[in-house]
A = this chain, B = another copy of it.
Amino acid sequence: MTSAALDTEYDVVVIGAGPVGENVADRTRAAGLSTAVVEAELIGGECSYWACMPSKALLRPVVARADARHLPGLDKAVQGPLDTGAVLARRDVYASHWKDDGQVAWLEGIGADIYRGQGRLTGERRVSVTAPDGTEHHLTARHAVAVCTGSRAVVPALPGVDGAHPWTSREATSAKEVPDRLVIIGGGVVGTEMATVWQALGAQVTLLVRGKGLLPKMEPFAGELVARALTEAGVDIRTGTSATSVHRALPDGPVTVELDNGEQVEADEILFATGRAPRTDDLGLETVGLKPGSWLTVDDSCRVDDTTWLYAVGDVNHRALLTHQGKYQARIAGAAIAARAAGTPLETDRWSAHTATADHAAVPQVVFTDPEAASVGLTLAEAEQAGHRVRAVDLDLAAVAGAGLYADGYRGRARMVVDLDREIVLGVTFVGPGIGELLHSATVAVVGEVPLDRLWHAVPSYPTISEGWLRLLEAYRDA
């Protein structure tokens, strides 16, 4: 076989076959564009094997047990520990046992060609793939290359960190055993969710947070309520502290973390949940004038600035590091690629088929802790910073009949941020047990820009937690 035989031309080449790359390919294939998908690891990506799926599989029984504990008549049955082996085995199922046959079949089913190996740009519209067996494929994209390589966990370069074999989100979601003691660095989504899981499965968790509180990107009460519950569950939360060094003397021995306040924490495993970096360092970006290791800046169609053919979709463009938002971008980028390939003018209005407007205005997120924390759109601080004339309306969710019925001793809170000029909702945050599915009502309201006058006609079914919507509207009216 000559190397020429390995040169192939496609309409579109997608690098990265996580949910984002899969969705780009789905849309370009639906438009009749030949599409190659390049992946160096498992088809299905981080979300399927080391993030959303396994983490939520681990969290669900923890949260369901917590809810049951607040229901007299059921509470006594669930005082004992979870069956860790069964919980981990269920997690393995939802992580597809880290096998990607199902995802491969799906991609093949839509008619995309899969290339296994590291994909690298070698120039404009050109991608090389180094397969595991060393074979080199040269792909040319007639219309577009979409970089969907996502992000990886950042482990800070602390003294001793290499020898400490730290966990990142990957190890934390795929661990086969419960450590006796787990120290977690970082109080964002990964830190709080993994503290919830591993404490419930029997670890003594210490959560070290540099800032003042948890979940710093949400309204302040979100982190406060989650911190209170984690503390009650036995997690040792230390805020305003940073690790200065990490030390593990023996591979099977304990790890010691030195803190900037002079304290030490000893644990059996250490998890860094300290942010993400773009997976663009080994992509050949330098061959097209871009900087390896950088986030890729894109317009609202997800096309990389100053290019006509390169798209960056999902985490890698740093607009919203969430699977569902990356999939949203993928649908839009795929439609934009198809439109440009067909020579059709792009729709450029807000909320059109080719503009990822929600990235700016309506990114939803559910943190699957106990209590759950969910938000969409702008926080009060973000709305004020953006120059909107706003009012925040707050609600103690425990005052809602459906909340008390859901769980005795219900603790929760909601905030609605109202644009006073347009009388629409710019953002909503719910924190409390059982509110995860409620978030989408806020997402529809924010995205639909449904006026408050109209929202009064959206009657919440009694007695659900969604009645909080009525209370928020009343509080706004009566303020």
> Which A residues lie at the B interface, using CB under 8 A?
19, 47, 52-53, 56-57, 60-61, 64-65, 67-68, 71-78, 80, 82-87, 89-90, 94, 322-325, 327-328, 331, 351-353, 357-358, 362-366, 374, 401-402, 404-406, 408, 434-441, 443-445, 447-448, 450, 453-467, 469
Contact = CB atoms under 8 A, between A and B. Distances in A.
B444 A445 contact: yes
Contact of A60 (B78, B406, B454): B406
A177 to B, nearest CB: 15
A454 B446 CA distance: 11
B52 A463 contact: yes
Number of copies: 2
Contacts of A71: 60-61, 64, 90
A83 B78 contact: no
Given A61-B74, A77-B78, 19 more contacts: A52-B463, A60-B405, A61-B71, A74-B87, A76-B86, A77-B77, A90-B408, A324-B460, A324-B461, A324-B467, A352-B453, A353-B453, A357-B457, A434-B437, A439-B464, A439-B466, A440-B461, A443-B458, A444-B448
A52 B444 contact: no
A324 B80 CA distance: 39
Nearest to A357: B457
Nearest to A372: B464
Contact of A440 (B75, B83, B438): B438
A361 to B, nearest CB: 9
Contacts of A456: 331, 353
A151 to B, nearest CB: 16
Nearest to A69: B64
Given A52-B462, A445-B448, A460-B440, A86 B61 contact: no
A325 B459 CA distance: 7
A440 B464 contact: yes
B457 A362 contact: yes
Contacts of A366: 461, 464
Given A52-B462, A465-B437, A94 B445 contact: no
Contacts of A466: 437, 439-440
